[in-house]
Structure 1
Amino acid sequence: MIEVRGLTKHYGSTVAVDDLTFSVKPGIVTGFLGPNGAGKSTTMRMILGLDRPTAGTATVKGVPYGQLHDPLRVVGSLLDAKWVHPNRSARNHLKWMAAANGLPRTRVEEVLGLVGLADVADKRAGGFSLGMSQRLGIAGALLGDPEVLLFDEPVNGLDPEGIVWIRKFMQHLASEGRTVLVSSHLLSEMALTAQNLVVIGRGKLISDSSVREFVDFATDTTVRVRGPRLEEIERCLRDGGLGVRVEPADPIHPPHLVVSGATTDQVGDLLAARSLALHELAGQSGSLEDAFMKLTGDTVEYHGADADAMLGHLPPDRQPPGGPPEAGRHAAHGQDVEREVR
């Protein structure tokens, strides 16, 4: 387990981490989220003893990292995939790490196989793609077969197959009872990978909860309804006291209704009583992206121009299919739209 208590880090007058407290439990993948500059990397470095806290503590299995005996057997980490000497082969890099930490050479071949680098193990690390360097970094983190693992942007540079592989691999590691902390900006992937989230902004804790709790707290749940007699369906739902919004056709959906303040069961029963046929009845919960943007928007250090407004000012021949995005479309469609937040 990782325990962070009142952790604070000042760089001169800049407060990078501000009285941060959270726990990372074994047996699940914990996502570590926050905008750029939120203090995620600084926090991970303090957990690993690479930076000294101004105040507070960060412990692994009850003690600071610097007091661990055989630390590589307890904690594995990937913070920078490109720190490997470029002229050293992947195999020799891992052999050097094993020798320095009293680990058997047989473990080198095991981890090379685990991360899919066995066939290129004798090639120079300097010639590796970013994705291959990430795999080598993961191999180094696994070398001591540790109980605790920290990964900073582990899917960076991986192709889709590699992203799916690392997702399943991390979940497998957690299922073995290990403690797994993963920092990432790829929110759609975090929604599939993590069970718990620690979210920070400007060095302060915003949330420490399950993914579902985080999304439910910050977003609304609605029901999408579609049928052949849409106007009658709308009247029925309004007569039943429900909030209804009419959504016209767009490139993704035909005309439909969005109902708030009710479950799919309630909507279905109400329409069945009027013998109104349905072609679609689907619950829509908010996405992790929606929740993240809502709860961290005030902590973003640098804001770019509004993308929807920029698209709205494009000439007609450069508009995307269906015209400029309508205000609130992302929030209305919930998990139908996901994008990478940088």
Structure 2
Amino acid sequence: MIEVRNLTKRHRGRAVVDDLSFTVEPGHVTGFLGRNGAGKSTTMRLMLGLDHPCAGRVLFDGVPYRRLPEPLRRVGVMLSPPAVHPGRTAFDHLLWLARTNRVPRGRVGEVLETVGLTGAARQRAGSLSLGMTQRLGIAAALLGDPPVLLLDEPVNGLDPEGVLWIRGMLRTLAAEGRTVFFSSHLMGETALTAERLVVIGGGRLLADTTVRRFVEDNARSHVRLRTPEPGRMREALAMSGIQVGAAEDGSLEVHGVEAARLGELAAANGVTLHEVSTQSPSLEEAFMRLTGAEAGARTEAGRR
């Protein structure tokens, strides 16, 4: 379990992280989201003791990270980009980490196989591709077989096969009862991987909930209409007091009205429809709606 309590960090008088509190429970994959500048990277550095908070604390299973006697065995960490000496081979990089935390040598080969780098074990890190370097960083996080994983942008640089692999691996680790916490800017992948979300904006907590509840609370479904007669359809909707918007592909978007009613309205007015479909809200839409409103509120407050 990860407990973040009243975490605060100020820089030049500005709160980069502002009284932030949340808990990451074991048995779930939890995504950490925020716009650029929201404070995600600073929060993760504070969690690991790489930056000093002005207030608050972070506990990993009841212990601050800096007090863990063998941290690699308790918390698996990968910050983006992974810190790897370019002159070391992938094997030697992991072996060096293993020896500093009393991890058996045999574990190095195991994690190299887990991340698909057995064939590149003797290759120098500086010659690895971005995706292979990412896999090496994940291998380092897994090396101590820790109960807690904290990963910063683990999907970056991975090919489609790698994305499927990391998604399945994170879910498997959570199913084993581990605490899995990862940051990402990829909304679609987060929606497919995470069960829970922690969302921040301006260093403050905006949401700590399930993915499903977050989408339901912050986005609405709508009906998509495709017609060769958009002008006539707009007139028919306006006469019924129904507001309509336009999508980039030229289709019409209607909120708050069932698809069946719109189809009946089109038929009654002799309007040809090529498509009437209900579009479910996405995590991206919900995220942009919430964080956009929050950013707008902060901008307005700054003008006062």
Deviation at 1:263, TM superposition (A): 4.8
Amino acid at match of 1:290: E
Cα deviations by residue, 1:157-177 (Å, 9 ceiling, x for unpaired):
222222222122212211222
Q: Gaps spanning 5+ residues in structure 1: where?
A: 304-342
- SS of 2:244's equivalent in the other structure is strand
Match of residue 245 from structure 1: 244
Deviation at 1:93, TM superposition (A): 0.8
Distance in 2 of aligned mates of 1:196 and 1:263: 30
Amino acid at match of 2:295: T
Taking the TM superposition and a 5 Å limit, the aligned residue runs for 1:47-126 are 47-126=47-126
Distance 1:299 1:246, change over 3 A: closer
Aligned mate of 1:289, from 279, 284, 287: 284
Q: Gaps spanning 5+ residues in structure 2: where?
A: 300-304
Deviation at 1:57, TM superposition (A): 1.2
- SS of 1:9's equivalent in the other structure is strand
Distance in 1 of aligned mates of 2:80 and 2:244: 47
TM-score (norm 2): 0.83
CA contact 1:76–1:141 (8 Å) conserved in 2: yes
Match of residue 192 from structure 1: 192
TM-score (norm 1): 0.75
Distance in 1 of aligned mates of 2:125 and 2:151: 20
Deviation at 1:112, TM superposition (A): 0.1
Match of residue 201 from structure 1: 201
Matched, 1:21 2:21: yes
- SS of 2:207's equivalent in the other structure is strand
Deviation at 1:226, TM superposition (A): 6.2
Deviation at 1:293, TM superposition (A): 2.0
CA contact 1:35–1:299 (8 Å) conserved in 2: no
Deviation at 1:191, TM superposition (A): 1.8
Deviation at 1:185, TM superposition (A): 1.1
Cα deviations by residue, 1:144-190 (Å, 9 ceiling, x for unpaired):
11111011111112222222221222122112221111111122221
Distance in 2 of aligned mates of 1:88 and 1:146: 24
Aligned residue pairs, count: 294
CA contact 2:237–2:244 (8 Å) conserved in 1: no
Distance in 2 of aligned mates of 1:54 and 1:231: 58
Deviation at 1:222, TM superposition (A): 1.6
Matched, 1:299 2:295: yes
Distance in 2 of aligned mates of 1:247 and 1:38: 31
- SS of 1:27's equivalent in the other structure is coil
- SS of 1:220's equivalent in the other structure is coil
Question: Percent sequence identity over matched residues?
Answer: 54
Distance in 2 of aligned mates of 1:237 and 1:37: 41
Distance in 2 of aligned mates of 1:228 and 1:128: 52
